[in-house]
């Protein structure tokens, strides 16, 4: 421990590969580029680690542990350590991902994203009681957290346990920025991006503002007002993190529609 205290990087192995990683980083964050694939639905580099979906589980072993002893941890929430060994695709890992996906397939039978992932882990039909719903929300709270990051807090999760759901109780707080819908891993938030200058989401209709010269859609009136105020208050124009979102999410293949908020011009994939 004392050795690593001063140094800024640690050394670990991931599926046998030697990896040098910055101290304090989570396992999931250091895997890109290693050719290992850890599925995850609720993680997002622009947001605090959350640990809701439990898909990104991996097995770890710390130095000094008995050879046979490994522990299952969520890679989005586990910090890298000196000498750590990580297995991202062991039988135990696959088995638990399989059960999680099995459960999700029962919860959101209408979701293609979940079904495709489930198929990858050998679940073609759920072992559990299917919920009769067209809804595809898996309560990962990405929308809630993103809305908070943007500074609106319009979306909140309600109730608890299996009754948990996501809602916008105060419609006035929603600015129609579409970040929630864009980041949703299971395309669960229905919206219309541009219908003759109108945008609809969360049961609310917005007027879109178009750049007069280029004809580019800039966003809703409320969104532009919010960005302007935020720039005044905090010197922030928009959450930078939202930009490099698309690359990451595309890589996992969960959603093709993601892009920077202001880029949304065309109704990419409208849900209902």
Partner 1 sequence: MTSSNGKPFGSVKNLLKRAEKILKERKKLKQEIRVCAGPGCIALGAKDIHKELCKQLDDHKKELEAAGLELNVTLSEKCTGCHGMCEAGPIVTIEPEGTFYTGVKPRDTKKIVEKTLLKDQLVDPLLYQLGHHRGGGKVKHYADIPFYSLQLRVALRKVGVVDPTNFDDFLAEGGFQAFAKAIAEMTPEDVIDQVEKSGLRGRGGAGFSTGRKWRSALRVKEDRVWLICNGDEGDPGAFMDRAIMEGDPYSVLEGMMIGAYALGATDAWIYVRHEYPLAVEHLQMAIDKLTNAGLLGENILGTGMTLNVRISRGGGAFVCGESSALMRSLEGKVGEPRAKYVRSVEKGLHDEPTVLNNVETFTCVPAIIDKGAEWFASMGREKSKGTKAFSLVGKVKHTGLIEVPMGRTLREIIFDIGGGIIDDRPFKAVQTGGPSGGCLPAGKLNLQVDFDTLADAGAMMGSGGMIVMDDHTCMVDVAKYFINFLIGESCGKCVPCREGLYQLYDLLNKITNGEGKPGDLETIETLCHTMEVASLCALGKSAPYPVTSTIKYFREEYEEHINDGVCRAGVCPKLIVYHINDDCNGCEVCRKHCPTNAITGEKKKLHVIDPDLCISCGICKSVCKFDTIDIMSGGKIVSRDVVA
Partner 2 sequence: MTPSKKAGVGSPRSGAKTSKTKKKNGAGKNASKVILAATDEILAHYPLEEASLIMVLQELNDQLNWLPPKALERVAKKLNVPFGKVQGVATFYRAFSLKPKGKKTVKVCTGTACHVRGASMLVDELKRSLEVEPGEGISEDGNFSLETVNCVGACAMAPVAMIGDHYYASMTPGNIAKMLKKEKPE
Return residues touching partner 2 (CB under 8 A).
107, 131-133, 135, 137, 139, 152-160, 162-170, 173, 188, 202-203
Query: Binds 137, which of partner 1, partner 2, none (CB < 5 to 8 A, cut-off by type)?
Result: partner 2
Minimum distance from CB of 130 to partner 1 (Å)?
A: 10
Query: Binds 133, which of partner 2, partner 1, none (CB < 5 to 8 A, cut-off by type)?
Result: partner 2
Q: Do residues 149 and 46 lie in contact, with contact meaning Cβ atoms separated by under 8 Å?
A: yes
In 10 A of CB 182, how many CB atoms? 26
Nearer to partner 1, 53 or 255 (CB): 53
> Cβ contacts of residue 139 below 8 Å, gap of 6+?
52, 157, 164, 165, 166
The token pair that represents 133 in the structure block: 């719903």
Q: Do residues 80 and 26 lie in contact, with contact meaning Cβ atoms separated by under 8 Å?
A: yes
Please report, as ranges, the residues that interact with partner 1 according to CB under 8 A: 49-55, 57, 72, 74, 77-79, 95-96, 99-100, 103-104, 106-107, 127-129, 138-139, 141, 157, 159-164
Minimum distance from CB of 5 to partner 1 (Å)?
A: 14
Please report, to the nearest 10 degrees, the dihedral formed by the alpha carbons of residues 218, 224, 230, 233 taken in order: 120
Integer-rounded Cα radius of gyration of the chain: 21
DSSP 173-235: G-----HHHHH-TT--S-EEEEETTEEEETTEEEEEEE-TTT--EEEEHHHHHHHHHHHHHHS
The token pair that represents 168 in the structure block: 């916008």
Nearer to partner 2, 185 or 259 (CB): 185
Nearer to partner 2, 172 or 211 (CB): 172
Minimum distance from CB of 123 to partner 1 (Å)?
A: 12
**What is the Cα–Cα distance from 179 to 147, expressed in whole angstroms?**
7
Nearer to partner 1, 22 or 197 (CB): 22
Query: Binds 77, which of partner 2, partner 1, none (CB < 5 to 8 A, cut-off by type)?
Result: partner 1
Minimum distance from CB of 200 to partner 1 (Å)?
A: 28
Nearer to partner 2, 58 or 137 (CB): 137
Nearer to partner 2, 60 or 143 (CB): 143
Per the rule left: phi > 0, alpha: psi between -120 and 50, beta: everything else, 235 is left
Minimum distance from CB of 127 to partner 1 (Å)?
A: 6
The token pair that represents 253 in the structure block: 């293949």
Nearer to partner 1, 77 or 209 (CB): 77
Query: Binds 185, which of partner 1, partner 2, none (CB < 5 to 8 A, cut-off by type)?
Result: none
Query: Binds 235, which of partner 1, partner 2, none (CB < 5 to 8 A, cut-off by type)?
Result: none
Q: Is 241 helix (H, G, I), strand (E, B) or coil?
A: helix
């Amino acid at each position: 421990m004392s050795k690593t205290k001063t140094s800024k990087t640690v050394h670990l192995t991931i599926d046998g590969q030697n990896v040098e990683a910055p101290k304090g980083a989570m396992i999931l964050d250091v895997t890109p580029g290693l050719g290992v694939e850890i599925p995850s639905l609720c993680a997002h580099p622009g947001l605090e680690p959350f640990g809701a979906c439990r898909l990104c589980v991996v097995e770890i072993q710390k130095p000094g542990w008995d050879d046979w002893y490994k522990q299952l941890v969520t890679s989005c929430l586990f910090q890298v350590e000196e000498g750590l060994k990580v297995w991202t695709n062991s039988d135990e890992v696959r088995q638990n991902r399989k059960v999680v996906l099995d459960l999700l397939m029962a919860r959101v039978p209408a979701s293609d994203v979940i079904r495709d992932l489930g198929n990858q882990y050998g679940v073609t039909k759920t072992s559990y009681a299917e919920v009769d719903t067209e809804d595809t929300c898996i309560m990962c709270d990405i929308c809630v957290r993103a809305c908070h990051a943007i500074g609106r807090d319009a979306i909140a999760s309600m109730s608890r346990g299996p009754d948990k759901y996501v809602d916008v109780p105060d419609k006035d707080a929603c600015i129609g920025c579409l970040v929630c819908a864009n980041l949703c891993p299971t395309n669960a938030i229905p919206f219309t991006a541009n219908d003759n200058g109108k945008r609809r989401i969360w049961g609310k209709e917005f007027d879109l503002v178009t750049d007069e010269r280029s004809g580019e859609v800039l966003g809703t009136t409320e969104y532009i007002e919010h960005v302007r105020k935020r720039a005044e208050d905090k010197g922030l124009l928009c959450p930078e993190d939202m930009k490099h979102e698309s690359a990451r999410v595309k890589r996992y293949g969960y959603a093709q529609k993601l892009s920077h908020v202001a880029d949304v011009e065309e109704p990419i994939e409208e849900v209902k």
